[in-house]
A and B are shown apart, each in its own frame.
Chain A
Amino acid sequence: MPNASDTETVRAPGARPAAAGSARAGRGGFLLPPWARWAGLALGAALVLLFPELSPNAYVLSAGVIVASYACTATAWSFMGGFTGYVSLGHAAFFGLGAYGTGILIRDLDLQPFLAWLLSGLIVLVITVPIGIAALRVRGASFVIVSISFVLILLLVFQAWEGFTGGANGLNVPRPFADLYRPDHHRIFYYLFVALLAAMLVSWWAIDRSRFGAGLKAIREDEDKAEALGVPTRDYKLAAYLVSATFTALAGGMYALWFGDLDPIFQFSILLGAYMVLMALLGGARHLFGPLVGAVVVGSALEYFKLEFGDTQLHLVATALLLGVVVLFMPDGVIPAATALLRRLGPQASSIREITAEELLARNRAASGGSADPADPLPTEGAGDSDPAGPGNQRKEG
């Protein structure tokens, strides 16, 4: 496979391309040469865009819309969970708020549906500021507790406040394209979800390459050291949280416009938040396309389970087992797991570092050689493993 050839290029044609190649390998773990990545990207995009034409019936198309919405939520989740390593089990809260915000704005203010959608994203952004400040005052355990509690409290409130939210009777959101047939409706929303996903992926990619992204990753690897080095950890975390929440809310609002019927039990469901985490982790939360891959796998599996086993609790058991396996055996997701496997089958690297000493030497030589630009901060993805986790690692900020 291409990874073998990658190491070949490192050795063969002089120092400068080698530096570029190894920097890329260090960055994401992808070992494919550039042309293969572009070809893969084009192929993936074509498949995604052609899906509605390929789907045999309206049911498959609607399942595709659901998977696309899962992909949006999982990618939105990874803005927080992937970059900073803060696992939020409560992102369903933002999904539900976005959905209900859209629905209520249309119902009460009679806004144009997509205007309501944008506005509700904005409202969620504002609501998230105090929540984020409260949640991010503490690290680790308390953050998770807050995130779960936020969903639970919203579930309670939206169920109890019937006059405003429709309570357990549900909230009916009028369809934005009232004169379309079901399949056409699905098709339009499939493309809308894909467009939203594309916007997220581009933002993710831009953040990944930015100083902001480097700061977030530094927080993930060692928050104390990052802070000591002058990363404004609180502001960065809050910013990432806001981006993540807003995108989740936009996905939720889109879902409301598509599905047209909201129920607190399903919108503010812990299970939905768990799906986001599962999808992102399964695919690899640190990778651009990881959550998307995870969403395709988990989303299709969920749809299959619903179709095959209906209302039984089997999908819970399956989700639980899958989550357990992912957490225990491949917490970095399938993309790194697959890359590691390829690497193991390919030429052996003896170092536990992300880049080998050899590659580092080649890189440094290239750097001192002049024009090469490996100045971008290298993410130290291996640091988590090699650092013994003393209590100092997890000390709270003052």
Chain B
Amino acid sequence: MDGTLLFQSLVLGVLLGGLYAILAAGLTLYFGVMRVVMIAHSAFVILAAYLAWFFHQETGLDPLFSMVLTVPLFFGIGVLMQRLLITRLRPATLTMMSVLLTFAIALLIEGLLGLFWSGTQRRIQLSYSGANFEFFGARVAVVKLIAFGLAVVALALLFLLMKKTRFGQALRATIQHKEAAQLVGIKTDRVAGIGFGIGLATAAVGGTALSLDATIYPSLHWSWIGPLMAIIVVGGLGSIPGTAIAALVLGIGQSLLQVELGTTWAQTLFYVALFATLMLRPQGFFGGRLAQRF
């Protein structure tokens, strides 16, 4: 592999890793606040991508504007989902049953997408879809850069929210120790609901970013959920910085392997990393004290 190609796939890997990071951040957030593995996350991502496509189809506006609608909508759905569904489950079996519940939601979304918009593959055609530019010898598609930019902005906002605001403090306290957080007066139920909403809002952002550059179809979410779950385990369940680092590392790794092995085999990297993590360091490589307990 020569230098240019290496650099090219490195750049693509970073861009891809950014997208992975924002998508996996949501998963980490749910797991943190509720100990819930949200299988439906990637289904919501695909739903957001479909909504962006539909929005573009109907209005002719740039699909990025669809976020004005989808982000609040998804936030609301997330809060409702936590308040109405997840809290109904028994605490003792919450983790297992929530997986099944969110799995059911994923199936529901997939089925409804198929019913409404059929299984046909969809793609958004934009004036700048084919555009790309030179970056130190590497060709970078504009849409990929926009997707990456969206991911970075969303992650930065999430970071600021978590670190700088009072609500973020409450959220982190809830993640670290729910009972202790309750003792100091945090309404952990409400915080968890909002945390869930924020997680789902990131799915809206990620889905819109994805719709710019990907061909979408209802069952696409299965090929996303595996890598995303691998990322959160490698990153250490519950740690957002760990997730971001793991996403970037694995994204770059996938991109580099793709050159040698082709797309399909490159994807197995995630699962290899997942199994290696569980064998060597079940608590994940990048922090996450939480994960030890799971």
Contacts and interface: CB of A to CB of B under 8 A. Distances in A.
> How many residues of A sit at the interface, in one of the four size bands?
35 or more
Given A159-B264, A394-B293, A320 B108 contact: yes
B93 A384 contact: yes
Most chain A CB atoms below 10 A, which of B108, B178, B179? B108
A256 interface: no
Interface in B69-92: 85, 88-92
Interface string B27-64: 00001000101010000000000000000000000000
Interface in B111-150: 111-115, 119
B85 A328 contact: yes
A141 B293 CA distance: 10
Contact of A313 (B85, B115, B177): B115
A67 interface: no
Interface string A131-173: 0011101111110111011101100110110000000000000
A89 interface: yes
B201 interface: no
A328 B114 contact: no
B274 interface: yes
B154 interface: no
Chain A at the B interface: SS class: helix
A323 B97 CA distance: 10
A164 to B, nearest CB: 14
Interface in B218-250: 218, 222-223, 225-226, 229-230, 232-233, 237
B interface secondary structure, majority: helix
Given A89-B99, A316-B111, A134 B278 contact: yes
Nearest to B88: A328
Contact of A85 (B93, B111, B113): B93
A112 interface: no
Nearest to A389: B91
A110 interface: no
Contact of B99 (A87, A138, A150): A87
B294 A324 contact: no
Contacts of A320: 104-108, 111
A206 to B, nearest CB: 26
Interface string A167-182: 0000000000000000
Interface in A303-347: 312-317, 319-321, 323-324, 327-328, 331
A393 interface: yes
B267 interface: yes
A108 interface: no
Given A314-B115, A317-B108, A149 B92 contact: no
B92 A393 contact: yes
A53 interface: no
A316 B105 CA distance: 10
A148 B226 CA distance: 7
Using C-beta atoms within 8 Å of the partner chain, give the interface range for chain B: 35 or more
Contacts of B270: 149
Contacts of A153: 226, 268, 271
Contact of B279 (A85, A134, A331, A390): A134
Given A144-B37, A314-B111, A327-B101, A160 B282 contact: no
Contacts of B104: 319-321, 323-324, 327
Contacts of A71: none
Nearest to B267: A156
Given A160-B264, A396-B282, A384 B100 contact: no
A385 B90 CA distance: 7
A375 to B, nearest CB: 27
A149 B271 contact: yes
A186 to B, nearest CB: 29
A274 interface: yes
A152 B222 contact: yes
A396 B39 CA distance: 22
Contacts of A139: 294
B169 interface: no
Interface string B245-282: 00000000000000000101101101100110011001
A391 interface: yes
Nearest to A221: B92
Contacts of A312: 114-115
Contacts of B114: 312-313, 316
The residue in A150, A315, A327 that gathers the most chain B C-beta atoms within 10 A of its C-beta is A327
A150 B230 CA distance: 11
A301 to B, nearest CB: 15
B96 interface: yes
Contacts of B105: 320, 324
A139 B233 CA distance: 12
A327 B108 contact: no
B8 interface: no
A86 B31 CA distance: 18
Contacts of B264: 156, 159-160
B265 A160 contact: yes
A88 B178 CA distance: 27
11 contacts: A89-B39, A140-B35, A146-B274, A150-B271, A159-B264, A313-B115, A315-B111, A316-B108, A320-B108, A328-B101, A391-B179
Given A140-B96, A148-B229, A152-B223, 12 more contacts: A89-B39, A89-B100, A142-B294, A144-B96, A149-B270, A160-B262, A313-B113, A315-B111, A317-B115, A389-B94, A391-B293, A396-B294
Interface of B: 31, 35, 37, 39, 85, 88-97, 99-101, 103-108, 110-115, 119, 177-179, 218, 222-223, 225-226, 229-230, 232-233, 237, 262, 264-265, 267-268, 270-271, 274-275, 278-279, 282, 291-294
Q: What are the nearest 7 A-B pairs in CB distance?
A: A316-B111, A313-B114, A389-B91, A320-B108, A320-B107, A317-B111, A323-B104
